[in-house]
Structure 1
Amino acid sequence: MPHHIAVIGAGTIGASWAALFLARGHDVAASDPSPQGEAFARRFIDNAWPTLETLGWVAPGASPSRFRFHKDPTAAADGAAFVQESGPEREEAKVDLFATIDAAAPPDTVIASSSSGLLISRITAKCRRPERCVIGHPFNPPHLIPLVEVVGGDRTSPQAIDAAMAFYRSVGKHPIHIKKEVRGHVANRLQAALWREAIHLVAEGVVSVADADAAVAYGPGLRWALMGPHLTFHLAGGEGGMAHFMSHIGPAVQSWMDDLGAPRLTPEVQQTIVAGVAEEAGTRSIADLQKWRDRKLIDILRAASP
């Protein structure tokens, strides 16, 4: 049965969420304070729709025409069965926005934040019903990348976690439950760890920006599209699996870990990275790179599907 889903904040992330929810057959009411908010969201949805159709993710009866837009987040949240907040990544702004949504949404409705690193326990400081609030952090673009990180706070109920996990599964996402609040959640911290070492190697003159990217994209990145680091190393252990890997390769890996760098993003390091990325991108604009990425993501999603 179609539900009314509210998307509060209809920028790049929110509009992408809206496209996915619409494709799965829901009605979507969105809100964004930007004067161009509605035009941007509708344009994004229209552009994303052919890709969602190509992937076979558009449910019977689903349509972009089931999208409504409101300037007032209260109007969008009114009567919603699920709320996905994707406003600015500023704690103080989210605290006030969550209080507004909490007052407007039905009492049993789960309210999820797309925040990439903030803590839901702090975001809900002014909420009357913090027990129904969670982090539901997607990866960009949400209408394509399956992962959603679900994080509860110190006042979030187990029922809200279960409801959020079930809802995300129902729209084709792959939710994971993060059991303890940490800044940046899990996937972003893993990304940061890898990027930290890539920056260190560039700053030390070991490798260029382009070759550091190639070392991931044409090597472990291809395996990581199918399985994470633990299962990857389980296979690396041969017939003995992870136990064999730990006993035979573990000491070498420990020595690499001990030698990892801890760079600082000084102005000089920042400029080195910016210049290296500009050289790697060449004449390709951001829009060109986004289109190329999305085409390749479709191929990867098709190949990786069970």
Structure 2
Amino acid sequence: MTVAVVGTGIIGSAWAACFLAAGHDVLATDPADGASERLAASLETQLDIATELSGRPATSRGSLRFVRSLEDAVRSADFVQENGPERLDHKVALLAEVDATVRPGVIVASSTSGFAPSLLQGSCRVDPGRVLVGHPFNPAHIIPLVEVVPGQATTTAHADSALDFYRSIGKKPVLVRAEVPGHVTNRLQAALWREAYSLVDRGVATVADIDTAISHGPGLRWAVVGPLTTQHLSGGEGGMRHLLEHLGPPTQKWMDDLGEPQLTPELTDKLVAGIDDEMAGVDQAGLVADRDRLLVDIMRLKRSSHHLP
């Protein structure tokens, strides 16, 4: 199978690693100067990790070819993953060009973090029903989640095919059943960020304290079973119902008291100063390497379990 990767920045290169590790051939394209060299440099580390997670031998990897022409990249593709800049006008024009070139029935998935697929389909005149969102999470060559978001014109068959394809390369796709800004997971993140920003703004906690509170507290549990199952398990034999009967009223009070911060220049300065303090003396490249290695280890342990959902 041949996959076209349109745009080879941080997300595009990670997608390329995933597809190659799964044994698919990749046709990559990006108009930026030096894009081919940057892609090769990124794949030096990403591809080894993606191959490790795939469980396949390195000898089964697909082939990579970088082409300058968008038409050359997508003309013979069996699946297209678009990763252009997060600008609506740019994506709409890019996807219209892809739609006009790819073969009939080929799914065109956009990695957009928040644009509604119906907006992206608007200028696709040939077959808007095959255009949808396939949103990954950084680092995309490690994190298995992909949000598949159909638009108004997307057919059920194409949405199902996209879900099946992502599963076939080892991803964990979820179907987003309605178009909302930011899809699902970015909205969940935004809810946490909102209160984190508010707590910093009010002087309740520092940036470093908030990072510690999540990464050494609920974040550890969420990485295993997610926040709602965590609640269910906290309810013991009575499960979620028991928990909500006992902790529902105080939880409602906490939710009612959550802040509504505005990202003013002053709050932005507070957040930047806080992260600068937290990162002082930290080898950020080493931090990223440690993060990625631990994520790989977590993924391996999760896959060896027998009862996790």
Give the TM-score band, short-chain normalised: over 0.9
Output the CA distance in 2 between the equivalents of 1:186 and 1:196. 15
Secondary structure of 2:12's counterpart equals: helix
Q: Which residue of 2 aligns with 1:267?
A: 265
Deviation per residue, 1:178-237 (Å, 9 max, x gap): 000001000000000001101100110000100011110000000010111111100111
- Aligned residue number for residue 15 of structure 1: 13
Cα contact 2:54–2:169 (8 A) shared by 1: no
Asked if residue 116 in structure 1 is aligned to residue 116 in structure 2, the reply is: no
Note if 1:88 corresponds to 2:85.
yes
Contact conserved, 1:91 with 1:118, CA < 8 A, in 2?
yes
Distance 1:53 1:127 in 2: 35
Aligned to 1:239: 237
In 1: Cα distance, 2:56 partner to 2:210 partner: 37
- Residues in 2 aligned to 1:101 and 1:284: alpha-carbon distance in whole angstroms: 43
* Deviation readout 1:88-124 (Å, 9 max, x if unpaired): 0011000000011101111100000000000111112
Given that 2:16 and 2:26 are in contact with CA atoms closer than 8 Å, whether structure 1 keeps it comes out as yes
1:211-268 superposed Cα distances (whole Å, 9 cap, x missing partner)? 0111100000000101111111001111100110111111111010000000001111
Distance 1:229 1:35 in 2: 43
Q: What root-mean-square deviation, in Å, do the aligned CA atoms of Structure 1 and Structure 2 show?
A: 1.2
Q: Write the distance in 1 (CA, Å) between the matches of 2:85 and 2:143.
A: 21
Alignment-mate amino acid for residue 193 of structure 2: W
Q: Which amino acid aligns with 2:207?
A: V
> Shift in Å at residue 60 of structure 1?
6.2
The answer to whether the Cα contact below 8 Å between 1:25 and 1:61 also exists between their aligned partners in 2 is: no
Q: CA deviation at 1:56?
A: 4.9
Q: Which deviations, in whole Å up to 9, do the C-alpha atoms of 1:128-168 show, x marking residues without a partner?
A: 21100110000011110000000011111101100100000
Contact 1:26 1:62 (8 Å CA) reproduced: no
Query: Which residue is equivalent to 1:200?
Result: 198
Quickly say closer, same or farther: Cα 1:170–1:54, change in 2 above 3 A.
closer
Question: What letter is aligned with 2:196?
Answer: A
> In structure 1, what is the Cα distance between the partners aligned to 2:72 and 2:134?
22
- Gap runs ≥5 in structure 1: none
Preserved contact between residue 132 and residue 156 of structure 1 (Cα < 8 Å): yes
CA deviation string 1:30-68 (max 9, x = no partner): 11011111111111112123323443533564336x100
Q: Which amino acid aligns with 1:37?
A: A
Q: Quick one: which amino acid aligns to residue 34 of structure 1?
A: A
Partner residue, 2:145: 147
Matched residue SS, 1:115? coil
SS of aligned partner of 2:26:
strand
Q: Which structure 2 residues correspond to residues 149-228 of structure 1 after superposition, within 5 A?
A: 149-228=147-226
8 Å CA contact retained: 1:18, 1:28: yes
Task: Tell me, yes or no, if the aligned pair for 1:5 and 1:27 is still in contact at 8 Å.
Answer: yes
1:303 aligns with 2:301: yes
Q: Is the counterpart of residue 74 in structure 1 residue 71 in structure 2?
A: yes
Note if contact 1:225-1:304 (Cα within 8 Å) is conserved in structure 2. no
Cα deviations by residue, 1:283-304 (Å, 9 ceiling, x for unpaired): 2354233212111111211222
5+ unaligned residues in a row in structure 2: which ranges? none
Deviations, residues 68-104 of structure 1 (Å, cap 9, x unaligned):
0111211100111100000000110000000111011
The answer on 1:47 being equivalent to 2:41 is: no
Could you say which residue in structure 2 is the equivalent of 1:249?
Answer: 247
2:108 and 2:184 map into 1 onto residues whose CA distance is 20
Counterpart CA distance in 2 for 1:256 and 1:15 is 41
Partners of 2:134 and 2:23 in 1: CA distance: 20
Tell me the equivalent position of 2:289: 291
Task: Indicate the SS of the match to 1:196.
Answer: helix
**Matched position secondary structure for 2:8:** coil
Aligned mates of 2:216, 2:274 — CA distance in 1: 18
Alpha-carbon distance in 2 for matches of 1:148, 1:87: 17
The total of aligned residue pairs comes to 303
